Amino acid sequence: MSSASPRFTVAVSGYQNAPYLPKSLGSVKAQTFRDFEAICYVEESTDGSLQICRDLTADDPRFKVVSAPKSGTASATRNYAIDHAGGEYLVVLDGDDWLAPGKGDR
């Protein structure tokens, strides 16, 4: 990825989604379209979601992990991503969602 803005920003919510995060984050990392940034927004979780996000994305500079207090609403992730997205387009995933292979190629 160049220093220019990425084409996509992918926002992933990580609240209490530990069992699903490997598949969710893995599906983002495996995209053949490489011009994206990803924001993993993790509210206070008791299941290790924050550490899983950190561990799974530590080797990829396109990923930023954000820790936040519990808000009680799904809109917190989306609002944070809207405010901090560098991409031209925004893709939102809940922690138990995943992207099909080649999704950004279309």
- Say which residue the tokens 């997205």 belong to: 85
Domain-embedded: residue 2? no
Domain-embedded: residue 58? yes
Domain-embedded: residue 75? yes
Averaged pLDDT for residues 72-98:
91
- pLDDT recorded at residue 1: 43
Domain-embedded: residue 15? yes
User: Using one digit for the tens of pLDDT, what is the confidence trace for 44-67?
Assistant: 999 999 999 999 999 999 999 999
The mean pLDDT value of the chain amounts to 91
Averaged pLDDT for residues 66-77:
88
What stretch of H or E contains 49? helix 49-57
Could you tell me the residue range of the domain that residue 84 belongs to? Answer: 8-97
Kindly indicate the confidence band of residue 106, based on its pLDDT and cuts at 50, 70 and 90. low
Domain-embedded: residue 3? no
- pLDDT recorded at residue 3: 59
Determine what percent of the chain is predicted with pLDDT higher than 70.
93
Domain-embedded: residue 106? no
At CB < 8 A and 24+ separation, what contacts does 58-61 make?
Answer: 60/29
CATH number at residue 91: 3.90.550.10
Averaged pLDDT for residues 70-80:
87
Domain-embedded: residue 73? yes
Domain-embedded: residue 80? yes
SS3 label, residue 65: strand
Say how many domains are in the chain: 1
